[in-house]
Chain A
């Protein structure tokens, strides 16, 4: 699912939460606070649907995280499957190798999930259903886009239809006295633009339309001058406050969030608040008798005739009898707000603004995720860590280097089914047990997919990897380099100097023990090349491994090497270093080691740290 659709769903959820909260609050402030405030606060709520402004921690981020997790658990995700099934067999070490340094505590949970998923996959109907959902999942951007565009086009054409109808049936008002009345109010309200005045039998209640060239349309029936006065006042206040822009703003929200029925409720509430606040602005200019006439004026335009009702994207004087009752009530009970009410207004404003941020959006979660990814890639800068999905998932497809005489192969085998199509060059390779497997070749090296020697070597390579109980489904070869066995030391030297990590890692296990020891020494001491060191760690001989583990447990400089070595060490070996780092007060290494502790040991150490009042260690042990 594209990030965009995720963000949109999050905004929808966020807006709905804020709208609900505000409407509940409205029960209390409805008759207390100024209508103008009520209107603008609703517009603020509406903005929540479109603006991805966020706090770092927020409700939507939390809810969304839960939803996404649940969703992913139900997805037939090949990459996850492969990595996790490897994990089942080869314990947690393998997972760390593939993913980088991440996830230790969740492994058990994941394994359980994996078991359930594997069981599910064995039931054809269930897997069929999952694949169906996956298909929809892929197209959901278009599923969203098409109705949104259709709705917007529809709304615009309805609006244009109305405007054209008015042009065709209406006539510009020629009476200078009427025009002067309108001009006079315009000047009074500080409106610089001339507002056009039309008269049309198509409307039964006065309407304001037009973005940049405003016009008021009055019904063709005769209107007394006294009433016209209020009609103009009302519509000009609408124009001055740019209510038409806000109406379209809401219409755009409805189009973008067409799947969310709450946007209709939002639109209804905003329309109501808009009229009430406009009335409020008008009657604040009037005395008590004039207010009554204003009310009469509203009443006289209640829609009874079959004409254009509530033309879309325009502002009409009256939008129905039901709402009118509330408006008339508000007119009669209008009074200036007291100081206490003003203070209360400020408080509620702060509450809603806080909610605005707290409701949040998906973007915040996203930010957290990406920092985690950066952390990971910092530790091991895998230039071969090809992230085929293009998003920030942690589990990504990764290539590794292998030597299978006389070729270096760069190969990975977590290719997902849909990615298979991207690599059309493939060949069948026979394995040791006489079974066959399709191996994909990258575009650059397509010539090798017909080379018998290469295919033979690839077959031996896949067989040997499979011997380690690694499941290989869809292997992809992205590099083949011919290296004669006697040239291995020379090539290794060349690759090490050039910084060719894949080539070097492939040749490292083929070197003599002395050579390996020499390279490790160079990487560890003189060159400080942690990336190379990390990529060959699994092939270090046990005696050398323990030497380096011990060396790196001292001092402050080699903590990064220690971290890499610890991830490959047996827990038995690590116990000694846990004690050592605790005694010497080495929190950095203790923190690394705490990630490998069993629950029981963790409790034991926590009790000890508490007893010794070593708060730093307590913090490490309680930190999840």
Chain B
């Protein structure tokens, strides 16, 4: 069971995932500047060390620099999140989730059909 992470921590995880599951601290800072965030150096370090203690990341020393390597894949994280979401909001009832998606036009009937076909084909 993975621990929950905050929105700002997720931002950092996404940068690392995008870079193929590992990134140097300097790379992370560059990416953050591109996104025009005003995060200070030590703020980022604090968040990264929280991710390390939550077992989302591990550090590897390369010379004097730290490389942060993801211990959790993006898909794993998404799966975990959707499970906990369904559990907490729909009490484990996936139908409820799908009906909300349809009602809110987040997903169209055609798309749903396609998914059903895909699901049936997968189970043959």
* A residues lining the B interface (CB < 8 Å): 172, 174, 176, 179-180, 182-184, 186-187, 191, 193-197, 213
Contacts and interface: CB of A to CB of B under 8 A. Distances in A.
Contacts, number: 43
B6 A186 contact: no
Interface in B31-73: 38-43, 45-47, 49-50
A285 to B, nearest CB: 19
A183 B43 contact: yes
Contact of B43 (A176, A191, A213): A176
8 contacts: A179-B43, A179-B46, A180-B43, A194-B42, A194-B45, A194-B46, A194-B49, A196-B49
B101 to A, nearest CB: 29
Given A194-B49, A196-B49, A183 B6 contact: no
Contacts of A183: 40-43, 45-46
Contacts of A194: 42-43, 45-46, 49
Interface centre among A182, A187, A194 (most CB of B within 10 A): A194
Interface residues of B, number: 14
B40 A184 contact: yes
Contacts of A196: 46, 49-50
A187 B41 contact: yes
A184 B44 CA distance: 12
B8 interface: yes
Contacts of A213: 49
Interface of B: 6-8, 38-43, 45-47, 49-50
The listed residue with most A CB atoms (<10 A of its CB), out of B45, B46, B47, B50, is B46
B46 A176 contact: no
A556 B8 CA distance: 92
A172 B39 CA distance: 17
A166 to B, nearest CB: 14
Nearest to A179: B43
Of the listed residues B39, B45, B49, B50, the one surrounded by the most CB atoms of chain A closer than 10 A to its CB is B45
Given A194-B49, A196-B49, A174 B42 contact: no
B116 to A, nearest CB: 40
Nearest to A186: B42
Given A174-B7, A196-B46, 20 more contacts: A174-B6, A176-B8, A179-B46, A179-B47, A180-B38, A180-B39, A182-B43, A183-B41, A183-B43, A183-B45, A183-B46, A186-B42, A187-B40, A187-B42, A191-B42, A194-B46, A194-B49, A195-B42, A196-B50, A213-B49
Nearest to B46: A194
A174 B47 CA distance: 9
A179 B49 contact: no
Contacts of B6: 174
A239 to B, nearest CB: 12
A179 B41 CA distance: 10
A187 B46 CA distance: 13
B46 A197 contact: yes
Nearest to A215: B46
A174 B45 contact: no
A193 B45 CA distance: 8
Contacts of A180: 38-40, 43
Contacts of A187: 40-42
